[in-house]
Structure 1
Amino acid sequence: MSRRLIRNTTIILLGASSVYAYAETRRLSKTYPLRPATGPYYNQTLLTSQESTRYFPSEGTDILVARVSRRALVSAAQKLGLNDATSLNATWARTFLEAPIISLEGQVIGGSKDRGDTGASGFHPGQRLLNGAFKVEEPPSRTDPLVVSWSMPEEPVSFFEKIAAWGYPWRLMSGGRHSIGVVEIPDSDGNEVEVIFGCAHEYERWNRANGKEDGKVIPDWTGWCHRMYGRLVLDDAVRQLMKNSGDN
């Protein structure tokens, strides 16, 4: 194969990949908008740390939503053996945790083909899900979402604290929380609801390397990547819901 052909093929492949990535980014952003963590989207457990030295900065909190039919959730609940209309939060939590992308995370963490616990036998505080990827902080109920926490390994957190103390402009989160639940839509006549995937990053308030409250967090572009990955995970879970309900 000539160098010219290799170059032209590479340019075409890179161009096509860029166009696809751009189109997919626009689709995900339009389909899964952000909501403020207020009103029906506010959850105290999501934004309350168990550590007095930690906090959740507003720029690290994203509430992603998708509009789906209530019928799809009720149908999925019945297939999961749940109490349909009274278990919509649990249904969405189960569906979300059993979707392919998030299940793969559980398999990678567990180092096996088993994705781990997805709440098939219910949820309770302290429960470890997806081979330890998440810990249940608040189980889903008729009115409240599932809230889980996750932790970042100490080594990278400590490393970024040290270089931040030397002047590096960013720090790494110590962990975070997710809310996975259902919100009623006032103008939908009860036919549609919003399923949510809330993400909140938890930071050390004071840099432990120098004791200063520097307010440093991850850079904006990293936050954007987290947000887009969250949309991708939500998109995957919505597809799983449609599959489970038979509406696909």
Structure 2
Amino acid sequence: MATGARHVFFLLAPPVIGGYAIHRRINNLESRYPRLTVDDSTSSLEFRTASSPATQHSPHIDIYAARIPLKVLLARTDNPNDIKTADNTTLSTAWARSVFGSRLFRFEGSVIGFFTERRFNPGDIGDTPDAFNPIPVSLSPSIDSNPKSSEQPTEKKRPLLHGVFIVERPPSLDSPHGLLGSWKMADEPREFFEKIALWGYPWRLMSGGRHELSVSEPYEVPGLEGEGPFVDVRFASAHDYEIVPEEGGLEKQKTIPEWSARLHRGYAMLILDVAVRELMRK
């Protein structure tokens, strides 16, 4: 092999091999976690609605699920042997803690913590007694003339992973769809790609997005009665994009390229896979 060809080979081989390995890995995840139908049975309307519906749309919504024995999830609750107390709020909290406490999210949060606060730790991952509930801030004066209500408690949404992820709706009895949270893309890179997209560049960045972590009602599986009941644990992802009138209707609005969207879907499936594997090992 000529010297020049050898150099080209050694330059191209790593990205080609790496790309092929990622392709095979995503293929494997796709075969095990098919995308679910996006409707009221798998997600909430709040999750499916863009953060600013008047100016944004959500063209990419993906929901994945894995079936696990209920007892595996119960083991992460305060009453691991009492199925009767396992309401959806309890199970959704346990599942959300499993996802944010997984090695994948802990590493991601630790990297964020290193760059933002110069300490390699994941920050709040919902593992405190307050879990994902809002944070009480202070008692603020009220304009109400009633002396008994001179002060009213205030609270703020709970930030996770050093503030990158904001809990918009903690698991509660008010919703069967578990935890809902949001994240936001920095304005500078989004605005840069919006500008060059107006000049003809074929893609744009999202403005942010949401994740929803939910648990289905328990059910039995024919032939596996001795191992059940089972539940489906879900991980859902939605991306918001600004609506640019110059680009036309929603079907013509630019987004990230398909290969990049597939990587995002692959990462969502990987998050689900890692969390489930860690649950099953405990």
Tell me which residue corresponds to 1:56. Answer: 57
The within-5 A match list for 1:24-173 is 24-58=25-59, 60-78=60-78, 85-86=86-87, 87-111=90-114, 112-120=119-127, 121-125=130-134, 126-142=157-173, 143-173=176-206
Name the % identity. Answer: 35
- 2:138 corresponds in structure 1 to none
- The TM-score, its normalising length taken from structure 2, stands at 0.73
CA distance in 2, matches of 1:220, 1:185: 36
1:193 and 1:216 mapped to 2: Cα distance?
37
The residue identity in structure 2 corresponding to 1:45 is E
Query: Per-residue deviation at 1:19?
Result: 6.6
Partner in structure 1 of residue 267 of structure 2:
229
Q: Which one of the candidate residues 175, 200, 203 is aligned to 2:241?
A: 203
Unaligned runs of 5+ in 1: none
Q: Kindly state the Cα deviation for residue 78 of structure 1 after the two structures are TM-superposed.
A: 3.4
Cα distance in 2 for partners of 1:186, 1:39 equals 18
Deviation at 1:33, TM superposition (A): 1.6
The amino acid that maps onto 1:180 is: L
3-state SS of paired residue (1:77): coil
CA contact (8 A) 1:47 1:56 kept: no
Q: How many residues of Structure 1 are paired with residues of Structure 2 in the alignment? A: 235
- Label 1:201 to 1:12 Cα distance change in 2 as closer, same or farther (>3 A): closer
Letter in 2 for 1:223: A
- CA 1:38 to 1:185, structure 2 compared with 1: closer, same or farther past 3 Å? farther
Query: Is contact 1:53–1:206 with CA below 8 Å preserved after alignment?
Result: no
Q: CA–CA distance in 2 between the matches of 1:215 and 1:13? A: 34
Task: Look up the equivalent residue of 2:166 and give its one-letter code.
Answer: K
Structure 1 residue 13: Cα displacement: 8.2
**Cα 1:191/1:152, change in 2 over 3 Å:** same
Tell me which residue corresponds to 1:177. Answer: 210
Question: 8 Å contact 1:53–1:204 — kept in the other structure?
Answer: no
Bigger mean CA offset, 92-101 vs 32-41: 32-41
